[in-house]
């Protein structure tokens, strides 16, 4: 089958916050850029982010990037790379002001400055008191951000390929990445996108879990592509469970509710966070709150007839605050929980939310992997940003509002780095003859599969296994069994069958291709979790309940081939300041 080819300077895969921030940088530099997206850009999942963007503007209380950096290092349970964290926290005010200049409709203080609210784990004076650091547009910050970035890309004439799904990376014998193969969903046509730089910005993979805040599109496509091309995935065992997903529906309720003064209560009406985090209370970081909630439920203090959830109380905030600062939450509570939050509490439960791990990069967005000389060798031509990347700024647990910040800072920085790198790399390398072989073989397999299982059935099995075996608390027997099960499910994924073989907008085929990516992420997560014999951040083991800095202060690297694990050191040295020494983590 002949496959057409198009050549660009840069191909960006994904048009969420990080992809569009990078694309803007690249388009403004006059490069020829193709931005591929499975969905129209404003439908990307950044749109669902609610609470805010962390930046030490100090518009309400005194604040500075050192405190923000400390909070992020502590929040990461010391697994975050301190060079990258310094880089991000220092750049935060600048990228927020930039966004404001782009037209972002931030809420305002009486002074006319950007409104900032408190958020979990963000404190003043190295962990002392909560600080108002989250720059917010009501509780629709992600929506406002994504639309603003799309608007700027319209202005910059960015070339979008909308409803194109990237299939696989093109890598030559020297290991250089030369572009991607992708399929136009409307026609089913496969095309080669040759590029001197390929930027993966494909977002998260929350859909590996049964109960998730994530959109249907969050299927870890970039991670699957990287894993199949021999690139490792870093720190995949660290998956964040957001404390407040709507019970039953899984839809996200922002931590901003607690930032505005809401709090959690158990079945006895008790504000239980005081027992777990006496200082920060409900604004402790997410791993801490989700564990506390799970303990309350497990010890019989949950709410409802089954005692399987807790209540988020915000009726005391008053109708005005709710309507002005939390209008989206009001909407979600009314629609998905059938409660008016001005009158009744919202039933919530910890829900899979964010992948701290991802494709390993340095703080310039360049993908790094062990090759010959060390663990952090640059993979030429490949970059990654946003949730699909592991810089690592979030380490073992991400702070709320640091992910929108991550998108902006590293989207911009990867753009800058690509512009720089392309200067010394003016000509595209020739594509290898087998550039389209892998995706064509995958499609061919699907086309000709007989007596295979339905994609939905195999996907359900995967999601149930992840939910049961790799949740908020992790048990050795469940993890070991989970590894066996997930490998068996991977075998089944290789034999799924679709009934619909048509070409035009075949969403059954898309879902089968997405499952190929999900199963890579699920395996990486389960296998890395089973192997890490300690508790750190979001990874909480029943048999190893403490953090073990002697043996486990290291990043994991999962290689798809042979399901192999390797490790590399954490970068404890910041760029200009002193390291934050390891401490017990108390909120």
Instruction: Give the nearer residue to other proteins in terms of CB position, either 188 or 267.
Output: 188
Q: Residues 1, 2, 4, 110: which binds other proteins (CB under 8 A)?
A: 110
* Paired sense of beta strands 359-360 and 190-200, if any: unpaired
Rg from Cα positions in the chain: 23
Instruction: List the one residue from 140, 228, 286, 571 that touches other proteins (CB under 8 A).
Output: 140
Q: Report the site for other proteins in 152-181 (rule: CB under 8 A).
A: 152, 154-155
Per-residue contact string for residues 481-500; x = within reach of other proteins by CB under 8 A: -----------------xxx
Residue 348 CB, shortest distance to other proteins, in Å, is 14
40 lies in the binding site for other proteins (CB under 8 A): yes
Among 113, 429, 464, 487, binds other proteins (CB under 8 A): 113
- Looking at residues 377 to 416 of the shown chain, list those that interact with other proteins (rule: CB under 8 A): none
The nearest distance, CB 159 to other proteins, in angstroms, is 14
Cα dihedral 134, 79, 225, 28, rounded to 10, equals 40
Q: Kindly state the smallest distance separating residue 239's Cβ from other proteins, in Å.
A: 20
What stretch of H or E contains 178?
A: strand 177-184
Q: Cα 12 vs. chain centroid, distance in angstroms?
A: 17
- With residue 198 as reference, give the H or E element that holds it: strand 190-200
133 belongs to the catalytic site: no
End-to-end CA distance of the chain: 59
- Which residues lie across from 197 on neighbouring strands? 10
Q: With binding defined as CB under 8 A, does residue 461 bind other proteins?
A: no
Longest dimension (CA), the chain: 67
Q: Pick the closer one to other proteins by CB: 458 or 565.
A: 458
| Shortest distance (Å) from residue 354 CB to other proteins | 15
Quick one: 503 or 533, whose CB is closer to other proteins?
503
Smaller CB separation from other proteins, 138 or 292: 138
Are the C-beta atoms of 34 and 153 separated by less than 8 Å? no
Q: Which is nearer to other proteins, 156 or 531 (CB)?
A: 156
| DSSP three-state, residue 174 | coil
42 binds other proteins, rule: CB under 8 A: yes
400, 404, 265, 260: which is closest to 328 by C-alpha? 260
Please tell me whether residue 475 binds other proteins under the rule CB under 8 A.
no
Among 5, 102, 473, 563, interactor with other proteins by CB under 8 A: 102
How many residues belong to the chain?
Answer: 587
Give me the least distance between CB of 281 and other proteins, in Å please.
27
Instruction: Count other C-beta atoms under 10 Å from residue 277's C-beta.
Output: 18
CA geometry: angle 128, 133, 134, nearest 5 deg: 135
Closest CB to other proteins among residues 335, 564:
335
CA dihedral 348, 132, 472, 303 (to 10 degrees): -30
Q: Which window, 289-297, 401-409, 454-462, 477-485, contacts other proteins (CB under 8 A)?
A: 454-462
> Can you tell me the distance from the alpha carbon of 165 to that of 88, in angstroms, rounded to the nearest whole number?
30
For residue 577, cis peptide bond before it (omega within 30 degrees of 0): no
Nearer to other proteins, 144 or 382 (CB): 144
55 is a site residue for other proteins (CB under 8 A) = no
Q: Does 144 bind other proteins (CB under 8 A)?
A: yes
What is the helix, strand, coil percentage profile of the chain, to 5? 40, 25, 40
65: contact with other proteins by CB under 8 A: no
Specify the residue, 469 or 509, whose C-beta has the smaller distance to other proteins: 509
Instruction: Give the range of 2-10, 452-460, 482-490, 555-563 binding other proteins by CB under 8 A.
Output: 452-460
Choosing from 22, 35, 47, 312, the residue that interacts with other proteins (CB under 8 A) is: 47
Task: Give the per-residue contact string, 498-537, with other proteins (x = CB under 8 A; - = no).
Answer: xxx-xxxxxxx--x--------------------------
Of the ranges 34-42, 64-72, 169-177, 387-395, which one interacts with other proteins (CB under 8 A)?
34-42
Distance CA 559, CA 140 (A): 37
Q: Look at residues 491, 468, 366, 340 and name the one whose alpha carbon lies nearest to residue 421.
A: 366
Residue 476 C-beta: closest distance to other proteins, Å: 34
3-class secondary-structure state, position 49: coil
Task: Give the dihedral sign, CA 153/159/165/170.
Answer: negative
Cβ-contact 472, 540 below 8 angstroms: yes
User: How many chain residues touch other proteins (CB under 8 A)?
Assistant: 64
Binding to other proteins in span 306-345, by CB under 8 A: 328, 331-332, 335-336, 338
Report the sign of the C-alpha dihedral through residues 53, 54, 57, 62, in that order. positive
Residue among 29 and 249 whose Cβ is closer to other proteins: 249
Dist CA 294 CA 548 (whole Å) = 23
Task: Please check whether residue 160 is in contact with residue 151, taking contact to mean a CB–CB distance below 8 angstroms.
Answer: no
Q: Does 209 bind other proteins (CB under 8 A)?
A: no
The one among 1, 4, 112, 561 contacting other proteins by CB under 8 A: 112
CA 388 to CA 465: how far, in whole Å? 22
Report in angstroms how near the CB of residue 267 gets to other proteins at its nearest: 21
Instruction: Calculate the alpha carbon distances from 252 to 9, 280, 333 in Å.
Output: 38, 21, 10
Smaller CB separation from other proteins, 456 or 484: 456
**Residue 135 Cβ vs other proteins, minimum distance, rounded to whole Å:** 9
What beta strand segments (E) does 528-571 contain? 540-541, 554-559, 564-569
Catalytic residue (choose from 140, 286, 398, 474): 286
Q: Which residues form the interface with other proteins (CB under 8 A)?
A: 39-40, 42-45, 47-48, 57, 93, 96-98, 100-103, 105-114, 137, 140, 143-144, 147, 151-152, 154-155, 186, 215-217, 248-249, 251-252, 328, 331-332, 335-336, 338, 454-456, 498-500, 502-508, 511
Active-site residue set = 286
């Amino acid at each position: 089958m002949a496959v057409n080819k198009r050549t660009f300077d840069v191909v960006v895969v994904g048009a969420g916050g990080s992809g569009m921030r990078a694309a803007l940088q690249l388009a403004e530099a006059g490069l020829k850029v193709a931005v591929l997206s499975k969905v129209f850009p404003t439908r990307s999942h950044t749109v669902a982010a609610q609470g805010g963007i962390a930046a030490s503007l100090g518009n309400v209380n005194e604040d500075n990037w050192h405190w923000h950096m400390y909070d992020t290092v502590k929040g990461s349970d010391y697994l975050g790379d301190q060079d990258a964290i310094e880089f991000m926290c220092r750049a935060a005010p600048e990228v927020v002001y930039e966004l404001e200049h782009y037209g972002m409709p931030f809420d305002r203080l009486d002074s006319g400055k950007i409104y900032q609210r408190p958020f979990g784990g963000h404190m003043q004076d190295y962990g002392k008191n909560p600080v108002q650091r989250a720059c917010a547009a009501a509780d629709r910050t992600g929506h406002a951000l994504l639309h603003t970035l799309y608007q700027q890309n319209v202005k910059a004439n960015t070339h979008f390929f909308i409803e194109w799904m990237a299939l696989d990376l093109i890598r030559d014998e020297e290991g250089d990445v030369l572009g991607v193969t992708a399929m136009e969903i409307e026609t089913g046509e496969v095309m080669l996108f040759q590029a001197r730089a390929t930027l993966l910005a494909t977002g998260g993979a929350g859909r590996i879990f049964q109960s998730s805040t994530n959109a249907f599109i969050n299927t870890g496509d970039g991670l699957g592509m990287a894993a199949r091309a021999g690139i490792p995935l870093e720190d995949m065992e660290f998956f964040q469970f957001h404390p407040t997903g709507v019970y039953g529906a899984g839809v996200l309720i922002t931590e901003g509710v607690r930032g505005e003064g809401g709090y959690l209560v158990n079945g006895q009406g008790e504000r239980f966070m005081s027992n777990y985090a006496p200082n920060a209370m409900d604004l402790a970081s997410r791993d801490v709150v989700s564990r506390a909630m799970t303990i309350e439920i497990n010890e019989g203090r949950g709410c409802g007839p089954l005692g399987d959830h807790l209540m988020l109380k915000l009726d005391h905030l008053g109708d005005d605050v709710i309507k002005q600062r939390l209008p989206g939450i009001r909407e979600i509570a009314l629609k998905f929980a059938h409660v008016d939050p001005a009158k009744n509490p919202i039933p919530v439960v910890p829900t899979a939310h964010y992948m701290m791990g991802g494709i390993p990069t340095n703080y310039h967005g360049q993908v790094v992997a062990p090759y010959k000389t060390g663990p952090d060798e640059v993979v030429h031509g490949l970059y990654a940003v946003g949730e699909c990347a592991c810089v690592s700024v979030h380490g073992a647990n991400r702070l709320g509002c640091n992910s929108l910040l991550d998108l902006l800072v590293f989207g911009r920085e990867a753009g800058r780095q690509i512009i720089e790198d392309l200067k010394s790399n003016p000509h595209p390398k020739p594509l290898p003859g087998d550039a389209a072989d892998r995706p064509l073989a995958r499609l061919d397999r699907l086309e000709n599969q007989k007596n295979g299982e339905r994609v939905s059935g195999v996907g359900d099995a995967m999601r149930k296994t992840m939910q049961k075996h790799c949740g908020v608390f992790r048990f050795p027997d469940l993890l070991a069994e989970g590894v066996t099960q997930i490998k068996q499910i991977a075998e089944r994924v290789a034999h799924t069958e679709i009934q619909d073989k048509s070409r035009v907008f075949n969403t059954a085929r898309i879902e089968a291709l997405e499952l190929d990516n999900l199963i890579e992420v699920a395996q990486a997560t389960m296998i890395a979790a089973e192997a890490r014999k300690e508790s750190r951040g979001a990874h909480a083991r029943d048999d190893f309940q403490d953090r073990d800095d002697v043996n486990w202060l290291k990043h994991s690297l999962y290689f798809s081939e042979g399901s192999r694990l390797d490790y590399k050191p954490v970068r404890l040295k910041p760029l200009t300041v002193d390291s934050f020494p390891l401490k017990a983590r108390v909120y």
